């Protein structure tokens, strides 16, 4: 065989080999992109638990690629994450648990926004959409509070690091500064603080709370009910399981006294009500709460929405969470009109 014929043969063979490799690569990528998650994602043992949870979740009708990106995605971050998982699959120690990183959480947030725009808008208008700057760069707060690791339990539960990695301060009382200024605009309490994407909750709502210390979500049934006292008496707390979620962050002091710390459990005339009886789940708004239970007149004949309470005016000394009839009527409950 002449040298020219040999070169031609090698060239043709090389082209066939390259074509085969490209076809195999595209075919494999296409299979993993469009194939059933049970045969693709769950083929890696690290994903079997997540796949099992997803299979019984409210999002089981969505393919994994809808939130995580597929092998054919143009999202560089998603592709990088997939490659990283492959590398970790072959190099990490056995039994290492895959945990959510904050950058993953923020990307999941955008998937939530894409599929649930109305709910996302309500969340964005609430106090739960507050940023790191709102929690850690408020001068009045800095003067009143000291930096502590437990701050991140509610105000930055997905932050990748300790409080010292987030905040720098020349003294124990401030003024504080964020070590990474870019974090100032990031949400500190994202959707996944109260939602687990793979949740099997029938209604798909406030089914789980993310516990930073454990690095995992816990269903409401596993959250502790917090017993409270007020004036030496036991407070009747709502049996609504969602109340357990609220009180994990809106918590009382170590003595579990109602109204201390950030606790807002209803006492007084509203004792026994759930937070969600008055507050909208995502917006937190309570503006329509009175009309939901009351007619225009109250027990004493005064329009409840015009009473001197913090519902009517934030400047009122009568907190709507703890107001009682005696607060405005000399310590006694007036006769019904």
User: With 80 as the cut, is the pLDDT of residue 57 above it?
Assistant: yes
State the Cα–Cα distance between residues 110 and 107, nearest whole angstrom. 5
Q: Which residue has the higher pLDDT, 59 or 229?
A: 229
- C-beta of residue 225 within 8 angstroms of C-beta of residue 238: no
pLDDT at 46: 74
Two structure tokens written together for 279: 């507050």
Least confident of 57-66, 77-86, 256-265: 77-86
- Residue 237 — very low, low, confident or very high, per pLDDT cuts 50/70/90? very high
The winner for highest mean pLDDT among 64-78, 83-97, 179-193, 281-295 is 179-193
Confidence (pTM): 0.79
Token pair belonging to 102: 């904050």
Q: Higher model confidence: residue 304 or residue 99?
A: 304
pLDDT > 80? residue 322: yes
Q: How high does pLDDT run on average in the chain?
A: 84
pLDDT per position as a tens digit, 135-190: 998 888 777 777 788 899 999 999 999 999 999 876 666 678 899 999 999 999 99
Q: Give me the percent of the chain exceeding a pLDDT of 70.
A: 91
Give the confidence band of 202 by pLDDT, cuts at 50, 70, 90.
low
- How far CA 259 is from CA of 101, 141, 247, in Å, comes to 34, 19, 11
CB contact set of 208 (below 8 Å; sequence gap of 6+):
194, 195, 196, 199, 201, 217, 218, 219, 220
Task: Determine the Cα–Cα distance for residues 241 and 205; give it in Å rounded to an integer.
Answer: 12
Q: Which residue has the higher pLDDT, 54 or 98?
A: 54
Confidence of residue 29 (pLDDT cuts 50, 70, 90): low
Query: Lowest-pLDDT range, 7-11, 276-280, 294-298?
Result: 7-11
Rounded to whole angstroms, the Cα distance separating 160 from 158 reads 6
Are 109 and 187 in contact by the 8 Å Cβ rule? The answer is yes
For residue 125, pLDDT beyond 70: yes
Strand ranges (DSSP E) for the chain? 167-168, 177-178, 208-211, 216-219, 229-230, 233-234
∠ CA(188), CA(192), CA(198), 5° rounding?
A: 165
**pLDDT beyond 90 at 207:** no
Whether the pLDDT of residue 26 is over 60: the answer is: yes
State the pLDDT at residue 204: 43
Per-residue pLDDT band at 332 (split at 50, 70, 90): confident
**What pLDDT was estimated at residue 97?**
64
Least confident of 141-150, 216-225, 251-260, 320-329: 141-150
3-state secondary structure 172-208: CCCCCEECCHHHHHCECCCHHHCCCCCCCCCCCCCCE
């Amino acid at each position: 065989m002449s040298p020219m014929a040999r070169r031609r043969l090698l060239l043709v063979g090389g082209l066939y080999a390259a074509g085969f490799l490209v076809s195999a690569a595209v075919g494999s990528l296409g299979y993993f992109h469009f194939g059933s998650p049970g045969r693709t994602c769950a083929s890696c043992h690290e994903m079997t638990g997540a796949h099992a949870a997803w299979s019984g979740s409210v999002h089981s009708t969505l393919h994994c690629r809808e939130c995580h990106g597929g092998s054919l995605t143009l999202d560089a971050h998603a592709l990088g994450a997939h490659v990283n998982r492959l590398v970790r699959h072959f190099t990490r120690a056995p039994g290492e648990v895959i945990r959510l990183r904050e950058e993953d959480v923020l990307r999941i947030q955008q998937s939530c926004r894409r599929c649930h725009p109305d709910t996302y808008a309500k969340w964005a208008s609430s106090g739960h959409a507050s940023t790191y700057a709102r929690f850690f760069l408020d001068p009045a707060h800095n003067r009143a509070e000291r930096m502590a690791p437990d701050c991140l339990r509610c105000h930055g539960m997905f932050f990748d690091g300790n409080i010292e990695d987030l905040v720098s301060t020349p003294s124990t009382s401030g003024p504080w500064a964020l070590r990474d200024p870019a974090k100032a605009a990031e949400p500190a309490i994202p959707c996944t603080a109260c939602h687990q994407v793979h949740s099997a909750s029938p209604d798909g709502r406030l089914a789980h709370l993310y516990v930073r210390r454990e690095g995992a979500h816990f269903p409401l049934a596993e959250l502790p009910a917090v017993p409270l006292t007020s004036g030496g008496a036991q407070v009747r707390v709502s049996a609504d399981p969602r109340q357990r979620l609220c009180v994990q962050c809106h918590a009382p002091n170590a003595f579990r006294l109602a109204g201390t710390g950030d606790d807002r459990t209803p006492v007084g005339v509203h004792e026994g009500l759930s937070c969600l009886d008055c507050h909208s789940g995502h917006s937190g708004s309570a503006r329509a709460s009175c009309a939901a239970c009351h007619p225009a007149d109250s027990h004493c004949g005064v329009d409840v929405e015009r009473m001197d309470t913090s519902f009517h005016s934030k400047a009122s000394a009568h907190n709507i969470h703890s107001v009682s009839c005696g607060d405005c009527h000399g310590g006694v409950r007036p006769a019904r009109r």
